Structure formats: C-alpha cells, structure tokens
Amino acid sequence: MTRPEGADAHHRALESLYAAAPINRLFASSLAIPEPGVARISFEIAPDHFHAAGAAHGTAYFKMLDDAAFYACNSLITDRFLLTTQFNLLLTRPLSAGPVVAEGRWVSGQRRVFVGDARLIASDGEEVARGTGTFMRSRIALAGLPGYRAA
C-alpha cells in the first residue's frame, strides 16, 4: 500500500483531524475530501439533537454547514488552520432523525480570507439548508494539531 502524497496526504490528514476533534463525539459523522475545494460530511441526526418541537436544533444545522464549508476551504491550505469569521444560514425545512449529508465547496479566496458554501441534503435527497461562510488564516500550524496526520 502506498502512502498518500501531496494534496491527497493533506486531505487524509484533515479527515483525521476532523475525526479527532472532541466535538465530534457528540455528532456521529465522517468527513471525506474527494478533491481540492470540496468536502462531504455524512451525519446521523439523533433525537438528542432535537429542540422542544421534535426536529433538529439550529446548532446541528450550523455545525454541519460550517464544517463542510470550512474543510472545503482548508483543503486548499496546507500550512495553517482556518478560523470561521462569519457564517450565514438559510434553514428551509425541519430535519428529523436519520442520515444527512453536508456538501461543502470553496467559492473564492486564496491567500488570507476564503469563502465557502455548503448545503444539507436529507435522506430523501432534498436540500434542507444552506450556508455561506468566511474563513481566515490563523497563526495555528496544522502540523502541530493533534490528529492532523496522514493515514
């Protein structure tokens, strides 16, 4: 088995970083970066994520959309961790328990500030939300973060 190199190694290391993040113990999910500027996160919404009216709370929508757009953008940056500086949400339909996919993509930016967008697709194939975020390079080196390592 050959070890990933270049962009592929960076993408696998970001997937490992995502899996190692403590917040993801609260959300059954997995990240895949199939190509630069694209991220897909498969989530499982559980009743634990519901608000009082029995559908997913907005925090779950934000988490999924922000992560997908963030990782799409950070897939283009190999040295630094990006930080979310702004994020806009559009929630179009309540989300019940079950699988959901967050599809993120890089929109613009290549140096200091990046823009990414994402959409949530429910198990019936319908879009239930979308979001756009702005992400800025931080001073945090990716290589120093626990979990950032090639598979």
Q: Which pLDDT tens digit goes with each residue over 66-123? A: 999 999 999 999 999 999 999 999 999 999 999 999 999 999 998 899 999 999 999 9
% the chain with pLDDT above 70: 96
Q: pTM of this prediction?
A: 0.94
Q: Which CATH class is domain 6-144?
A: alpha beta
| Residue range 136-149, pLDDT digits in tens | 999 999 999 989 98
Two tokens, residue 30:
């997995």
Cα–Cα distance for residue pair 81/128, rounded to 1 Å: 28
Cα–Cα distance for residue pair 7/76, rounded to 1 Å: 8
Two tokens, residue 88:
């806009």
